[in-house]
Structure formats: C-alpha cells, structure tokens
Structure 1
Amino acid sequence: MDQTERRILGQPLPVPTTQPKKRRTSMMSFFSKVSWTLRFQKQESLKNVFSILAERAQDPSAKKRHMVMRGLGTMACETPDKVIKYKKIILDLLVHGLYDPVSAEVIHESVKTLTIILGKIQGKSLGSFFVDITLQTRTLLDDENDNLRYSAFILFGQLAAFAGRKWKTFFTSQVKQTQDSLLIHLQDRNPQVAKACKTTFRSCSPYLRERKENSFQTEEDQRNPKLCRQLSHYHPELLQFFYANKIL
C-alpha cells in the first residue's frame, strides 16, 4: 500500500477539482468501456462489468469507490432499462456506498445516485433496501456538509412517496423521529437546504396524521403544540396546509 492509499484510508478526502492527466484518462477510459459495454455487448459481458464494479466498490481507495457510485449514476441516466433489470445488484452497491465508513464523498455520491435510481424504478420492489436507505438517509439530515444535507432531504422526500403499504408503519415511525430535524432545517443556514426541507416536510406530512384511535380527542388535543408553535412563527403557510389537510 503506497502513501496515497494510506492517507485516503486515514481520513475523508474531498474529490479534487483537478486530477493528474494520467488519472483522468484512466477514469474516462474505464467508464467509456462500461458505457460501451452497456450499449452494445452481450448480457454475459454486462455481468462482468457489474462484477468489476462490485470489486472496486470494496477498494481501499475512497476515490475508486466514489468513481463506482458516480458511474452507476451515469449508467442510470444513459441506460435506464439496464438499471431496472439489474436493480438488485445496483441497489446493493449503492447501499454499501451509503454506509461508507470513511468517505463523506462516497456517501454523498451514493445519495445522489440513489435519487436517480429510485426515480427510474419508481420505488418498485425495493424490498429490505427501503429500510436500509431510510435509516441511513435520516441520519444524514443533520450532517455538517450542506451539500450532503441537501441531497439527503431530497432523497428522504422521495422515500415518502415510495413507502407504500408495506413500509407505511415503518416510515411513519421514522418521520416522527425526524420531526425535530425537519423543524430545525426549515430555518437552515443554507437557503437551498431550507427549501429542500420544506418540500420534504410536505411530502412527509401524510405520515404526521393522527391515527383513528385518537378520534375521540378534541381537535385542540390532537394538535402537536411544539410543531404548531414553530410552524405558526416561521412557516404559517405550512401550518395552514396541515390544517386544511387535517394533518394537525
């Protein structure tokens, strides 16, 4: 292991804006081959491509792991039909990247690519991946990195649309646990994050509805005082939306 690899393993490193010509050529060459294979080669060759990606997703180099996650996003954009066919393999790689123990860049790239992938497959047949993605995404909503926080809110809002009947109870519990983060980041220091949080809050609003067994309570009793106070002060339009839809 050379000194560069040791340094990468020791701490998260940002993706450099400029890279040595040789390395840039190597990266471009690799993904050109992947793209070409996806478009023209036989299915046996495509499986080999995923085998290579799976191997590189485990590489000690954070840069190589980051490259894999970005490459999966490129595949999703260029060949969505392949994403649908090989979604289990792809989701497994992305969830692995989502839980990367070293690199925030790998995690961020995984979040962005998952947003693309889930959009392509419309959240269908996610299975247990839904749980893994939701649990980790929820922890990223309070991340110090603005860009990662923004992407996490986008993904969490997307998950709200794909919970369905199977994961409704689970996702409801996650939204309830995330309620404080949603309130806090409505006033996020980054305007784009605050905007994404507001959109996600709306998407998650159905999961904040009171259950039927509480129907004997008065309307005032059903309302969450803390939530109402904060929304009334900072976002009265959201509070009005919740009242109109009988969420609060």
Structure 2
Amino acid sequence: MLIASLPKSKSKELRAGKTDPTHPIWLLPRNSRSPRRPGPELRPNRASSPRDRRSSMDQTQRRILDQPLSIPTAQPKKKRTSVISFFSKVSWKLKLQKQEPLKNVFFNLAERAWDPRVKKRHMAMRSLGTMACETPDKVRKYKMIVLDLLVRGLYDPVSSEVIHESLETLTVILGKIQGKGLGSFFVDITLRTRTLLDDENDSLRYSAFVLFGQLAAFAGQKWKRFFTRQVKQTQDSLLTHLQDRNPQVAKACKTTFQACSPYLRQRKDYSFQSEEDQRNPKLCRQLSHYHPELLQFFYANKIL
C-alpha cells in the first residue's frame, strides 16, 4: 500500500494526523488516471447552483415582462371585441341552443343595437345578417324582433356604416321570408329607402336601389296603392341615376326601374284620351334619349 511504501518518519506523521492535506503524498502520479463516470465533465461553477439558476431564470423572466408588447399604437387600452370573435360567439350560441335559447341571442343583439358606440351597433346589424344566412327558419320565427332592430338601424342618426349594414341585411332577410308578414314595417322601410336613393354615399345609393327593387316585388295588393305613390314620387330619382357616376349604381337603378315599371302604368279611366296623352311625355323623352331599350321594354309590356 501507499502508506507502507513511505519512509517511517512520514508514515508516523500520517498516522498521527500531522500531515497537511496538500502534502505531495496526496498528489497522484501524472500517468495515473482516476476512474470517471460517463457523462459531461462538470466544472465547479458558482452560477450552476440551484439557487443561482433560479435567480438567473427570474431575471430573464423579469426582463421579458419589462419589455413592451408589440401592440399597434392605434389599439385602445381597453379590451375591444373584434368582429371575428363576436361572430364566432354568435355562431357558438346558435350551435349550443340547449345552453342558451336563441331568443336570448336576439335580446343581446337588441342591447347592442341600442349601444351608444357605433362599432357595437354596426356589429349588431351585421350579426343579424349572419344569423339570417345561417338559420333562416329561426329568423322567420323572430322576424318581428329582427325587423324592429333593422328599421332602427336604417334611421341611425350618426353612422352611415350602420345604415348601409341595415340595408344589406334587410335585403337578405326579405329574400328569406319572401316579403311575407312585414306589416307596417313595409311602410317604414320604403319611406327610409326612398330617401337614400339620392344619398352622396355610393354604397348607400347602391344598396338602397337594390332594396327598393326588392320592395317592388313584395308590395302585393295590400301596399300596392301606397307603393305606387312612392314610385311616382321617386320617378325623377330613377331617371337621374340611370346616368349615375358610379356604373354599379346605374346598373342597380336600371334593374330597379324595370321592377318598378308595373307601378308606372297609367290608369285607363280616361279612355277618351289619345294614346299620346296617356303617356308620360317627360319619361318617354328621357328614356328615348338615354335608354331606348327601357322605353321598348315599357312599350312591349304596355306600361307606357
């Protein structure tokens, strides 16, 4: 053994505990190797202690939290409900009607329609259109609530976006219910739509002409006399916007003109008048100059 091979004086000091741990006897020869366990070499490092590692992680997390988030400057500090999340919430409610009845969804939309913020009212009108496309049968069941909200949107005093969304949603819903059971809402919708035919906003004019043409198809016998008066009062607007600066509006106006043509027929109460007297000279003159094909259409259908 190593102790036995040492001199007697050294061995006595070692047994007596007088030898310092740094004595050369403790140093292994250079050519000798100590057995090592497999794995990476571990170096004594103060930072590798568990306490130091935790403090380092805490500092890293603190630096990350202290950094400002990359949020656009235009976003407000308050949480804003996005359009996508709002629609997904509505769709979720429609699919899970057992948890929340659909009638409650309409009541929630009614609250949003009264909201003082324009964005909330705009999303409420759009959500009604989405629901009309997804569940038309349910919309028919609650059509009076829906129509009341949309008519309220038509008369929005501030936002043209809310009015435009109401026009488009009404066009969708009237197509779904085929104009049945409108009641007095037919009068409200017609009067408001007619005033929007001359609006400066191209989108509003386009949607108004589309909806007005649809109302012409759904007037029926109940509202025929009323709608005839409205069409005659709108005749100048129809003639003017046949030459609208926006080609899409002009096209919609032309289609609406054809849909309203039955209401432009002259009464045959005065059979003693000549054919020329029974015709509307102003209408014939303008149509012959700008749209002769429409004039031929009116002649073929004995409208003029």
**TM-score (norm. length: structure 2):** 0.73
Structure 2 gap segments, 5+ residues each: 1-73
Q: Alignment partner for residue 32 of structure 1, among 74, 82, 88? A: 88
Q: Alignment partner for residue 90 of structure 1, among 130, 136, 146? A: 146
> Which position in structure 2 is the counterpart of 1:134?
190
* Overall identity of the aligned pairs, in %: 84
> Which position in structure 2 is the counterpart of 1:14?
none
Structure 1 gap segments, 5+ residues each: 1-17
Matched, 1:61 2:88: no
1:228 corresponds to which letter in structure 2? C
Distance 1:226 1:43 in 2: 61
1:150-206 CA distance string (max 9 Å, x none): 010000000000000000000000000000000000000000000000000000000
SS at match of 2:234: helix
**Compared CA separation, residues 246 and 19, structure 1 to 2 (3 A):** farther
**Compared CA separation, residues 202 and 64, structure 1 to 2 (3 A):** same
> Which position in structure 2 is the counterpart of 1:154?
210
> Which position in structure 2 is the counterpart of 1:52?
108
How many pairs does the alignment contain? 231
> Which position in structure 2 is the counterpart of 1:9?
none
Q: Alignment partner for residue 240 of structure 1, among 285, 296, 299? A: 296
Which structure would you say has the larger RCO, counting Cα contacts within 8 Å and 6 or more residues apart? 1
Shift of 1:60: 0.6
Q: Alignment partner for residue 172 of structure 2, among 90, 93, 116? A: 116
Higher gyration radius (CA): 2
**Compared CA separation, residues 21 and 209, structure 1 to 2 (3 A):** farther
**Compared CA separation, residues 121 and 23, structure 1 to 2 (3 A):** farther
Matched, 1:79 2:139: no
Distance 2:301 2:131 in 1: 39
Shift of 1:43: 9.0
Shift of 1:213: 1.2
**Compared CA separation, residues 44 and 241, structure 1 to 2 (3 A):** same
Q: Which has the higher helix share?
A: 1
Matched, 1:207 2:263: yes
**Compared CA separation, residues 19 and 222, structure 1 to 2 (3 A):** farther
> Which position in structure 2 is the counterpart of 1:195?
251
Q: Alignment partner for residue 219 of structure 2, among 163, 188, 196? A: 163
1:75 corresponds to which letter in structure 2? M
Over the residues paired in the alignment, what is the CA RMSD in angstroms? 1.8
